Amino acid sequence: MIEIIEQETLEGKIRKIAEHYSRRKQWLQVIEEAKELLKELENAANPFEYEGLVYLPDNTWSEIADVIIMCAQLAMQHGKEDQVRQQLEYKVNRQLERIEQERLRC
């Protein structure tokens, strides 16, 4: 007999973690992860203050991942995934409209 192994999606794995821990524990953890990301961003180098010249520490990408995972868990724990998706869509569209307005002014 062939055994079928179901591969979990990344979202499913994040949900499993969210269901394991309490809301309080994950709330405290997201605060800690956000602080760590902020520290990484503050350590970024911007020599000569050029707009396109920012050097981020290597660990920045790991800290970004931590914050994204923790925020996803909070949304899952509070049943707000759809609300977060709606806000993402709204905010991205709003910014694209602003960019278009800037482009038209130039």
Model confidence over 55-78: pLDDT tens digits?
999 999 999 999 999 999 999 999
Mean pLDDT for the chain? Answer: 93
The lowest-confidence range among 38-52, 66-80, 90-104 is 38-52
Place of tokens 């020599």: 47
DSSP conformation class of 59:
T
Handedness of CA 36, 92, 97, 94 (dihedral sign): negative
Q: How confident is the model at residue 6 (pLDDT cuts 50, 70, 90)?
A: low
Residue 4 DSSP code: P
pTM over 0.75: yes
Q: Between 73 and 45, name the one with better pLDDT.
A: 73
